[in-house]
Amino acid sequence: MDRVSAFTDDALGEHDTIGLVEELHAGHVGVREVVEAAIARIERVDPDLGAMAYRAFDRARVESRDPRGGFFAGVPTVVKDNVDVAGMPTREGADAWIGRPAAVDGDFARMYLATGLIPLGKSQLSEYGFSAAAEHPRLGAVRSPWSPSHVAGGSSAGAAALVASGALPIAHGNDGGGSIRIPASINGLVGLKPTRGRLAQARLTREMPVPIVSDGVLTRSVRDTAAFYREAERVYRPLSLPPIGDLTRPGRNRLRVGLSTTGGSPASAQLRELTLKTAVLLEELGHHVEEVEPQVSEQLADDFLLYWGFLALVVMRTGRRTHGRTWDPTRLDHLTHGLARHAGRRLHRLPGAIRRLRRASADSAAFYERYDVALTPTLAHSTPLVGYLDPSQSYDLLIDRLTSWVSFTPLQNVTGDPAISLPLQSTSTGLPAGMMFAAAAGREGVLLELAYELEEARPFARIGAPVGG
């Protein structure tokens, strides 16, 4: 199995984000040197990965001469191509219109870049983020650096592929049905979907009938993810949530863990076995694990699919107003069209679905009165090959394949609770398999402390080490 590795003996080395910050602060490397190294790495691996949606390399070079302040000052990154960054087009993983540069940073990008990160461009996603695999009939597929014959997941596929390959230490992603956690699982990364409202977001995202989308990051280490939320909190502090603070080590409390390997669709035999192995590890560390009834009912899965389709229907009906006269809906893929049709035929059911989805938060709160953490596999079966979720296939085939694979992650988008995928296991073919841990709203700290403990007990695999030097 050929892997795509960008790791080499340059200014980025094998450092995670914190390691790179330490090198920059110590003066061992310079910002301009780091940015040039990241550009060179992207140019080397992206022909195999298809991870970049837009390159802003010259802009990054200019910014590297006088980087803005912040803890991450000078660290290169990319922003997912469904968030506005001033001067860059936002194309949503589609080619159905001609993108124009955004006039100003979106709310999230403003907060994200205020931490000092330097954007090298935009990362690729599935069309409008609707699919869990970024395959496109004309733009191509985003491929996993662990095995380019397999998908990199979605929708934050490009971000995950770049971080896992070593091209970048950290990248932005967002998660409306698992879109941070899914590519984290596939690419062997840490992917935390935070509590609803934890980070700054665009008004349209905040005002959705059920605000399912949360922004965040993909990283190779727990400390990088924890540091990002610490720094983000210094820029944007939601008063409705308890602070996460500066978390740097495992927690001391032993946790009550509720395990499930069934949901909208059950996990495969292999993924169930890997989840039970994770439970054994937890028990060896002193936590209490017991198997519980699944939190995801068939009704919730159906309601989520209808709501997901409603979002596609909104895209179809507002596209020309949003994107202008170059808008051509015939260029949208079969999944987007199929989801919109699914919702259009069932609009009379939508109010009831929204009511039930909103009530899921109360059911979740009751669950977390009995358990501190929920454990499931991130995905129901192993990573599919490129082509399995090709959106030029029929909608019925696509949606059946998607819902049977992505059956665990949407719950926390509905409830607003935090959940994290950790690269604790691998499949029989050697590909990463994430384990997902969820907690009550506002309790990211519990998840990060547990993540530190698990990372220490079972260090995460990485694609490659630097060569030379």
d(CA 279, CA 291): 10
Instruction: Tell me the one-letter amino acid at 102.
Output: A
Q: Of these residues, 5, 144, 155, 221, which one is catalytic?
A: 155
Q: Of these residues, 5, 80, 126, 165, which one is catalytic?
A: 80
Yes or no: say if 367 and 375 are a contact pair by the CB < 8 Å rule.
Answer: no
The closest of 256, 275, 455 to 379, measured between CA atoms, is: 275
Q: Of these residues, 64, 126, 144, 179, which one is catalytic?
A: 179
d(CA 203, CA 359): 23
CB atoms within 10 A of CB 234: 11
Buried b / exposed e along 243-268 (16+ C-beta atoms within 10 A): ebeebeebbeeebebbbbbbbbbbbb
Its sign, for the CA torsion 40, 41, 46, 52, is negative
Asked about 155 being catalytic, the answer comes back as yes
Classify 191 in phi/psi space as left (phi over 0), alpha (psi -120 to 50) or beta. beta
d(CA 380, CA 263): 9
Asked about 179 being catalytic, the answer comes back as yes
Asked about 382 being catalytic, the answer comes back as no
Yes or no: say if 101 and 161 are a contact pair by the CB < 8 Å rule.
Answer: no
Q: Which positions are annotated as active-site residues?
A: 80, 155, 179
